[in-house]
Chains A and B, each alone.
Chain A
C-alpha cells in the first residue's frame, strides 16, 4: 500500500522559510515522479512543483518559481519542498503526491497534507 507522510508544516512569518518533507513507502520510490500540490483554505487544487524519478528534472508553477525548491533523496525515499520568501498567499495545505514513471503525470496517491500558515 502506498503511504505518503508529510511533515514540517507550521506557522511562519511573512518572508520566512520552511522545509516540507514527505516520507514515502509501499512502492519503488526511485521509479516514480513526485509532486507537491497545494490547496488554500476553501479553494481549489493548485499544482506547485514536480520532480522526475532521478531528480534531474524539476518544474515549478510561476507562482512559486524562484522561491521554492523541490528535491528528493532516493536513498531515503523522501521528497522535500524548500519554501523561501513566504507570503500570506502561500497559506495552504501542501500535499505530497505520487505520479507515474514519466515526469509529466497525473497523481494516483496523495499524502494527508501539511498545513502551512503564513501570518504575522
Chain B
C-alpha cells in the first residue's frame, strides 16, 4: 500500500507569515490528493482537491500544488483562525489513506 507522510509534524508561525506544509506519497498518485483542515474540537473541512483545486468557500490564501509523490499546501498569510491540524489524503485507489497531519499554531 502507498504510505502518506507529512512534514513538519507541527509548526508555530506568526500572523501574516507564509506557511508551507508538505505531503509525500511513497508512490505516484497523480493529482489525486486532497487537503483538509480540522480546527480543535471541530469536524474536518475540505480545503483542496485534485492537488490544487480550491473547494468553494475556502479563502484564497490557501493554495495547493504538486503531482506524483510531492505535494504542498501553502497559506499565503497566516491568520489566527487558521490554527488547526491539516491532513492530506490520497484518493487514487483504495486504501484512501490520510497523512498523519501537521499541527499549525500561532
Query: Hey, which bits of chain A sit against chain B, CB under 8 A?
Result: 35, 37, 44-47, 50, 59-62, 95, 104-108, 110, 112-113
Contacts and interface: CB of A to CB of B under 8 A. Distances in A.
A35 B46 CA distance: 15
A45 B34 CA distance: 13
A37 B85 CA distance: 16
Nearest to A106: B34
User: Is the contact region of chain B dominated by helix, strand, or loop, or is it mixed?
Assistant: loop
A46 B43 CA distance: 14
B43 A110 contact: yes
Contact of B87 (A45, A60, A62): A45
Interface string B52-86: 00010000000000000000000000000000010
A47 B89 contact: yes
A1 to B, nearest CB: 13
Contacts, number: 58
A61 B44 contact: no
B97 interface: yes
Given A44-B87, A45-B36, A45-B87, 12 more contacts: A44-B99, A44-B100, A45-B101, A47-B96, A50-B94, A104-B92, A104-B93, A105-B91, A106-B49, A106-B89, A107-B44, A110-B44
